[in-house]
């Protein structure tokens, strides 16, 4: 195997791909498109929230009451709290009519047997259509107001305040590594999961976009009979390896630009939300994610090359390759299983199956469910799978490139792989 010829082929494939009009359009246009979509969603969300809050301010914030039990203090019901005032009605029908006319936010009817049953009837206006305002009609101050009115004059005021106010629970979780109790940090927990999850999404997009260039290049050269000329000056192993490096490098360059542009926006948003210091990413997690990303990309790129070698057209090869992408999505479809039981049987099995291992192991690493030994074994199996897949794809590459317009059957493909 002559590495000089491999470098020439890789260089030619790389520059041919990056100069394509569709490559430049997708590379430069996709970040702009996502940015415009993000801005549009943010503006629409802000507009909906402002509109809901404006409507909420315009509505009369009064809660109607009727106490048939005689246990609640009338002054407390009429006082309400800082945001909602109270109004006592002599009858149920008058309170319901006030709700129909929009004079009050809700009407609360306390039955005579409230002390025994604890049941309270609340009459509300129609639910608003906006998802941002749904549920605003049912005010959360009803229960504290009932408690204050029930306890007023019966227990000390300090106890009334403590009973009606929600306790401030300070939670401390045991750290399995340091064996110390620590206060939870949502941003730190997000950072542990964000890297593997983002790497999973990047791998899926890389396979969909970057590996497709490899598939398209092989099918196109096979249809144009250019491959016969290339095989006269290089072996099939050199040709396949050069294409893997060149076209894969073009895809990774495209993807690197997306990562840089996305990271700038993400870090800017994170800086606004909080200082970057607490958002610490474990170097080990980032290293494992990068290794699995490269191995997973290499595996699927080699599979794309094998599919392109025996496909009779670009459309047919693309349909077959679409089935492979489903294996990448399986771990994400089972995301609740990984979160609830990362050491379960299904996550463990998917961590050692080459087609699902990259994303499955990333998710297990994110939640701390994979031991160093499992990570090492899974990476070794994935690396072996890459080598084997490249060799098998090279065999198909050599035996099927000269079959112009013919589609080999599955039996013929198996016989080729066994015979060579």
Domains of the chain: 59-164 (3.40.190), 185-419 (no CATH)
pLDDT higher than threshold 80 for residue 47: no
Q: Please report which confidence band the pLDDT of residue 321 belongs to, taking 50, 70 and 90 as the band edges.
A: low
Res 18: pLDDT: 78
Task: Quote the distance between the C-alpha of residue 4 and its chain's center.
Answer: 42
Helix axes 410-419, 372-400, angle to 10 degrees: 100
Q: Could you give the CA distance from residue 252 to residue 247 in angstroms, rounded to a whole number?
A: 9
**Computed from CA positions of residues 318, 323, 327, 328, in that sequence, does the dihedral angle turn out positive or negative?**
positive
Cβ atoms < 10 Å from Cβ of 311: 23
Q: Could you give the CA distance from residue 377 to residue 141 in angstroms, rounded to a whole number?
A: 56
Q: What is the chain's alpha carbon radius of gyration, rounded to the nearest angstrom?
A: 32
- Contact between 141 and 76 (Cβ < 8 Å): no
Res 228: pLDDT: 59
Res 7: pLDDT: 82
pLDDT higher than threshold 70 for residue 69: yes
What is the average pLDDT across 59-74? 84
pLDDT higher than threshold 50 for residue 28: yes
Res 381: pLDDT: 94
* pLDDT, averaged across the chain: 75
Classify residue 174 by its DSSP letter. E
pLDDT in tens, 377-417: 999 999 999 888 888 877 777 666 555 555 656 666 666 55
Q: Which two tokens stand for residue 370?
A: 């994979």
Share of the chain above pLDDT 70, in %: 66
Q: Could you give the CA distance from residue 375 to residue 388 in angstroms, rounded to a whole number?
A: 20
Q: Please report which confidence band the pLDDT of residue 112 belongs to, taking 50, 70 and 90 as the band edges.
A: very high
pLDDT higher than threshold 80 for residue 202: no
Question: 25-34, 64-73, 383-392, 399-408: lowest mean pLDDT where?
Answer: 399-408
Res 108: pLDDT: 92
CA atoms within 13 A on the CB side of 379: 17
From 379, 359, 373, select the one nearest 295 (Cα to Cα): 379
Residue in the structure block whose two tokens are 């630009």:
257
pLDDT in tens, 275-308: 444 445 567 777 887 788 888 888 888 887 777 6
Instruction: Say which residues have a Cβ less than 8 Å from residue 100's Cβ, sequence separation at least 6.
Output: 125
Strand 106-110 to 85-88 pairing: unpaired
Res 216: pLDDT: 67
pLDDT in tens, 187-198: 566 656 666 677
Q: Could you give the CA distance from residue 85 to residue 64 in angstroms, rounded to a whole number?
A: 9
What is the average pLDDT across 317-327? 72
Res 385: pLDDT: 92
């Amino acid at each position: 195997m002559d590495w000089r010829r491999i470098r020439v082929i890789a260089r030619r494939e790389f520059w041919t791909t990056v100069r394509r009009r569709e490559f430049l359009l997708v590379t430069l246009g996709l970040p702009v498109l996502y940015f415009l979509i993000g801005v549009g969603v943010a503006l629409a969300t802000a507009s909906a929230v402002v509109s809901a809050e404006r409507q909420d301010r315009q509505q009369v914030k009064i809660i109607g009451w009727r106490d048939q039990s005689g246990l609640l203090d009338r002054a407390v019901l009429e006082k309400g709290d800082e945001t909602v005032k109270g109004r006592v009605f002599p009858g149920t029908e008058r309170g319901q009519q006030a709700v129909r006319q929009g004079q009050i936010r809700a009407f609360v009817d306390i039955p005579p047997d409230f002390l025994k049953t604890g049941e309270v009837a609340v009459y509300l206006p129609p639910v608003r259509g906006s998802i941002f305002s749904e549920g605003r009609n049912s005010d959360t101050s009803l229960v504290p107001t009932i408690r204050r009115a029930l306890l007023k004059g019966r227990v000390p005021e300090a106890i009334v305040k403590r009973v009606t106010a929600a306790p401030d629970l300070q939670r401390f979780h045991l750290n399995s590594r340091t064996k110390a109790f620590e206060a939870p940090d949502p941003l730190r927990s997000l950072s542990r999961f964000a890297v593997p999850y983002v790497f999973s999404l990047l791998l899926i997009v890389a396979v969909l976009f970057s590996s497709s260039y490899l598939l398209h290049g092989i099918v196109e050269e096979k249809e144009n009979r250019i491959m016969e000329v290339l095989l006269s000056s290089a072996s099939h192993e050199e040709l396949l390896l050069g294409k893997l490096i060149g076209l894969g490098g073009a895809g990774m360059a495209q993807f690197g630009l997306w990562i840089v542009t996305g990271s700038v926006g993400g870090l800017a948003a994170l800086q606004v939300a909080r200082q970057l210091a607490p958002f610490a990413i474990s170097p080990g997690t980032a290293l494992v994610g990068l290794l699995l990303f490269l191995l997973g990309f290499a595996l699927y790129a080699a599979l794309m090359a094998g599919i392109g070698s025996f496909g009779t057209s670009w459309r047919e090869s693309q349909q077959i390759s679409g089935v492979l992408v489903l294996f990448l999505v399986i771990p994400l479809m089972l995301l609740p299983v990984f979160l609830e039981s990362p050491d379960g049987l299904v996550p463990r099995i998917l961590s050692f199956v080459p087609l699902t291992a990259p994303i499955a192991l990333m998710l297990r690493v994110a939640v701390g469910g994979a031991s160093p030994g499992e990570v090492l074994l899974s990476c070794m199996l994935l690396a072996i799978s890459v080598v084997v897949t490249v060799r098998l794809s090279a065999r198909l590459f050599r035996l099927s490139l000269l079959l112009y317009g013919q589609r080999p059957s599955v039996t013929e493909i198996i016989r080729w792989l066994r015979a060579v």
